[in-house]
Amino acid sequence: MQDALRLGIAGLGTVGASVARLLERHGDALASQLGRRVEVVAVCARERERQRGFVMGGIAWHDDPVSLARSDSIDVFVELIGGAGGTALESVNAALQTGKGVVTANKALLAAHGMDLARLAEARGAPLAFEAAVGGGIPIIKTLREALAGNRLTRITGILNGTCNFILTRMEEGMAYPAALREAQALGYAEADPSFDVEGFDTADKLAILTSVAFGTEIDRDAIFVEGISHIEPEDIAAADELGYRIKLLGVAQRTESGIESRVHPTMVPRDSDIARVSGVINAVSVEGDFIGAVMLSGPGAGGDATASAVVGDIIDLARGVRVPPLGRPAANLEPYRRAEMRAHEGGYYLRLKVRDRPGAFAAIARRMAEANISLDSIVQRNRPPGAAPKHGDDVLQPVTIITHSTTEAAVRGALGRIEAEGEIFGRPQMIRIEAM
């Protein structure tokens, strides 16, 4: 039998402890599959005394992840600490510098430093694997980098944050946003500070990685347009339902004539599309390519065990000696990311305005849309009986819902800007992009 593959795991929290438990439970079966054992020989976390649900006897303890990363006693460093910089970055750098393989689940680290890490890994001949960083247990990185590598991919559409999908699903069931968020927090899906999830930043980190692997471009997290879900109101959920859509927080990366459009925002998707049916904390990624057509993967996007499944999949590749450039092609062959401006985005739009109930207001709005060459699919004014309509000062406000045909972001923003300036509406207009699926 070949020598054992010796692992050092840094971080024994939700994911790290699950990885250790999986390897403990399936150790013999894996040895027989691989022709070599995979052994956890060293670990590192903050609190040494805490029970982690696996047998720690015989495993060396390190207080410092960097010293573990440099240790000659391990072949592969498994980084499950988290964070875009700090200890995670230092220790991954240290492991790669010494030519060790690295497996990580850390999307924030890769979105911020993935290019430097990929270059370093290649220069040192060290594998760098990160399946668990996107979509938790869903094998999307391997699918893009290996199984679909023969295609020219055209669009990736993903539900990449289970917390947001859970909140939107609960809103469809009748809850308002604050109550749905509180429930997500109570169930442990959302952090006490949920902004990283609900404002779309977590999805953007994952999309930055997917965009690079799918389109062969350098990772450019800052180029992604990001809008979260915290402004979605029950009226929008109800309107989407009436119009035959569901609202999802999507990460979309798409080739266009002017470059690659990478965007994260709440999106109306047709109710009968596969992605619309993905509910609760489940994640899904749909990939479109020239030979495959469309394929969708869905499954648990988080949770210790599902994420450990992906981490161990990477460890198995390393044990077998599988070597793939981290981002699917040599880093020197990745093209600079050519960003398509969001203003040039083309698609349908849902707009909801609170219009002051004055003669001519409705017509003025329709006129501004026509002036911007926006063709309307529908414009609906839901006149509420006097007394039932909301008021602002002396103004009665009537909700107006507009669905446009395909137009540009620039045209919609321009028209809305003029309508706002004319004072016909109260508050900020609601705008949700519609995605053809």
Ligand X SMILES: NC(=O)c1ccc[n+]([C@@H]2O[C@H](COP(=O)([O-])OP(=O)(O)OC[C@H]3O[C@@H](n4cnc5c(N)ncnc54)[C@H](OP(=O)(O)O)[C@@H]3O)[C@@H](O)[C@H]2O)c1
What is the residue-wise DSSP string for 28-83?
HHHHHHHTS-EEEEEEE-S-TTS--SS--TT-EEES-HHHHHH-TT-SEEEE-S--
281 near ligand X, judged by CB under 6 A:
no
Write the DSSP string, 368-408. Answer: HHHHTTPPEEEEEE-PPPTTTS-EETTEEEEEEEEEE-SEE
Q: Is 163 a binder of ligand X (CB under 6 A)?
A: no
Question: What distance in Å separates the CA atoms of residue 268 and residue 248, rounded to the nearest whole number?
Answer: 7
> Is residue 71 at the binding interface for ligand X, with CB under 6 A as the rule?
no
Point out which residues pair with 164 in neighbouring strands: none
Considering only 7, 12, 94, 415, the residue that binds ligand X (CB under 6 A) is 12
Stretch that binds ligand X, among 28-36, 38-46, 187-195, 341-349 (CB under 6 A): 38-46
Residue 91 Cβ, how far from ligand X at the closest point, in Å? 8
Minimum CB separation of residue 412 from ligand X in Å reads: 35
At a CB cut-off of 8 Å and minimum separation 6, what does 205 contact?
A: 107, 108, 110, 111, 221
Q: Is 303 in the site for ligand X (CB under 6 A)?
A: yes
Number of neighbours of residue 417 by Cβ within 10 angstroms: 13
Compute the residue count for the chain.
437
* Amino acid identity at 122: E
Contact between 87 and ligand X by CB under 6 A: the answer reads yes
Q: Which of 5, 7, 9, 15 binds ligand X (CB under 6 A)?
A: 15
Phi, psi of 65 (to 5 degrees): -60, -35
Question: Which part of the chain contacts ligand X (CB under 6 A), choosing from 29-37, 149-157, 301-309, 361-369?
Answer: 301-309
Q: Nearer Cβ to ligand X, position 94 or 237?
A: 94
248 given a catalytic annotation: no
369, 404 contact by CB (below 8 A): yes
The answer to whether 106 contacts ligand X (rule: CB under 6 A) is yes
* Residue 46 makes contact with ligand X by CB under 6 A: yes
Catalytic, out of 206, 248, 354, 391: 206
Give residue number: closest CB to ligand X.
Answer: 13
The residues annotated with a catalytic role in the active site are 206
Residues that bind ligand X (CB under 6 A): 11-16, 44-47, 50, 65, 80-82, 87, 105-107, 132, 136, 302-303, 307
